[in-house]
Structure 1
């Protein structure tokens, strides 16, 4: 098999889809055998390029991704990807959008349909672009990959995609996500991100509307104003878009001095950060999967998350589920997870068991089988 994978997000995005692509491709590498695998990167990287996994090659196309987007999807220029990747058997578009392909069979990963389900959470220009391009890409692709059953259901319901055209490849949890007990490591992470010594509630994710951070801030403020609990609130994530409500909600909180915006957290620091938290909270309005929920469970941290989209899949029976829009319900769940020690113990054990089922190796095996099915179809 001559396989080409769009590796662009793995190089240009630190978190989210970038990390998903890096982890999945790394787990795929040992399975490819005698196949030829090219990782295609559009646009120059500002930093050093990553080493490709063993047995794979990296090819950088020094054309800005924005130019290709305009040419391929706005101007509809029929420049086949083979001009950049050479002749191949199978092309895997890993990030929502399928370029023109002349002969190869094609797979397209659609991580979520948030631009349709929660359109108010996306930048208008990006929302309009995706709403035009993704349905066309889904229709053209030979097969679709979804991160969750919820996303598959959305594809079938919203884009009328045939049920048998979509395969669910759930994300995995890297083995480094495990409980961290070393006090020096826990102290180092607290110091690095200016958290201090107080216990804390943690949220992880980009600062953007879909993550619903204002609801968490308001729920945590209720907790601080109505109980003697001293917990800080730490939100770890890079600055995204439409952030005004997040900052104004912080400014209005009487306990704002105990809110820490930690910024982007390095992958290597996440296990200790999850482990240091008393509770992990993820009240997102919509998720294609919600990998942070699995990562927190794998680190033994009790989780409260929203009861929508794919999050019940991610949390299983190991998380407390709440209405993402009900801040009082979220505040009650936070207090319960902090104070109810027997419940914390039960959810910790369930969470460790649940998260252990999700490995990138298992994800890669499903992906590899799907490659062969599409190629032979």
Structure 2
């Protein structure tokens, strides 16, 4: 069997969840499958060294254009030219009129919800969401199989698109052991100096995507900072567009002094930032999976996350679950974990055991089984 895998954004430097997914699945497939042939279709970008070819895995750079043009025109053309038997599109969307049988991974359906008054989304995010709202319902029905990151997402897909139960499969994401392995004690002082980290801090992987709930996280920490000294908040990325507005709100007087935005975090430094934190904050409004929950646990950090969507499924009874719409609950969870070192250590030990249930090898085996099933149905 000759399998095409779409990795349009695989080579971009600042990788997000879907990019990590396709990279880790391909790497695991390279270890597991020495029989089938693979063609990975990418768009040229900075990080060309993140993936290497092997005997049965070839990387093909497909010419550019915007996201939709690349996916709807250039990708199916390249798949046909290279004679793949099956095409796996890995990032929610897929070509509408591909002649090649297709499998799609739908990570979430968050973009299907039009949030009224969503003023913090960028133009890029709004245009992307409109594209997905138009494409995803159609490709979900046309693809031979749909892979979902969680049972929550699977049920969402079945309910919204009215697909047969057998068409949608759950394939959990994994956490790479290399993340924890990259955690070298001797590198921690350099990471601390590079990002100017405070002595003690909570860590939040910042994003201005409204569903990441940054405004509520910052407000919750502002309340925490009123009564508790000795720990700051470290946020990746830049200050949000509403930062000055937040600082003017009553109760956030200490936020400017106690919150540090550290810009882009290099992938090799992420484990060090997790590991040196007191707590990792992930009270997102909605997730298809929630990979950072497992990443933080694998680096020995307790996690605060949400009671909503897939996050209880991923965090289990190990994460501290809060209502992400209630800043007071997030503040209280911060206080509980910060003031109880024994509880933090208990959560760390439980988290290290939990991540053993999630591996990219397992994900890749489930993906391979789906390829085999679809290919067998074609004959």
What corresponds to 1:310 in structure 2? Answer: 310
What residue is the counterpart of 1:159 in the other structure? 161
Deviations 1:10-29 (A, max 9, x none): 12352221122111111111
In 2, the alpha carbon distance for the partners of 1:134 and 1:205 equals: 27
4+ runs deviating over 6 angstroms? none
Aligned to 1:249: 246
**CA distance change for structure 1 residues 202 and 352 in 2, over 3 Å: closer, same or farther?**
same
CA shift in 2, pair 1:148/1:306, >3 Å? same
- Report deviation, 1:181: 7.7
Aligned 8 A contact 1:279 1:301 in 2: yes
Quickly say closer, same or farther: Cα 1:238–1:157, change in 2 above 3 A.
farther
SS at match of 2:353: helix
**1:127 maps to what in 2?**
129
> What SS does the aligned partner of 1:23 have?
helix
* CA distance in structure 1 between the partners assigned to 2:81 and 2:49 by the alignment: 18
Structure 1, gaps ≥5 residues long: none
Pick the aligned partner of 1:169 from 155, 168, 171: 171
Instruction: Tell me how far 1:84 sits from its aligned partner.
Output: 5.8
The SS at the match of 1:347 is helix
- Residues 309-339 of structure 1 show CA distances to partners (whole Å, capped at 9, x for unaligned) of 1111121111110000111111010011111
Hey, what does 1:109 align to over in structure 2? 105
* CA shift for structure 1 position 67: 6.2
Equivalent pair of 1:112/1:146 in contact (CA under 8 Å): yes
Residues 73-92 of structure 1 aligned to structure 2 (within 5 Å): 80-82=76-78, 85-92=81-88
User: How far is the alpha carbon of 1:124 from its aligned partner?
Assistant: 2.9
Task: Name the CA distance, whole Å, in 2 between partners of 1:233 and 1:268.
Answer: 21
> What RMSD over aligned residues (CA atoms) do the two structures have, in Å?
2.4
Q: Residues 312 and 246 (structure 1 numbering): CA distance in 2 closer, same or farther, change over 3 Å? A: farther
Alignment correspondent of 1:372: 372
Give, in whole Å, the separation in 2 of the partners of 1:220 and 1:134. Answer: 37
- Pair 1:99-2:95 in alignment: yes
1:145 and 1:168 in contact (8 A); partners too: yes
Q: How many residues align?
A: 366
Contact 2:42 2:59 in 1 (8 A): yes
Mapped to 2, the partners of 1:182 and 1:98 lie a distance apart of 40
* Runs of at least 5 residues in structure 2 that lack an aligned partner in the other structure: none
**Alignment of structure 1 residues 1-377 onto 2, 5 Å:** 1-12=1-12, 14-42=15-43, 44-46=44-46, 48=48, 50-55=50-55, 56-66=57-67, 68=69, 72=72, 80-82=76-78, 85-100=81-96, 102-117=98-113, 119=115, 120=118, 122=121, 123-178=125-180, 184-196=186-198, 198-227=199-228, 229-237=229-237, 243-246=240-243, 248-250=245-247, 252=249, 253-255=252-254, 256-377=256-377
Counterpart-to-counterpart distance in 2, 1:84 and 1:95 = 20
Q: 1:376 to 1:204 in 2, by over 3 A?
A: same
- Say whether the 8 Å CA contact 2:96–2:139 is kept in structure 1: no
In 1, distance between residues paired with 2:319 and 2:75?
Answer: 47
The change in CA–CA distance for 1:232 and 1:275 in structure 2 (over 3 A counts) is same
Shift of 1:268: 1.0
Q: Tell me, yes or no, if the aligned pair for 1:143 and 1:374 is still in contact at 8 Å.
A: yes
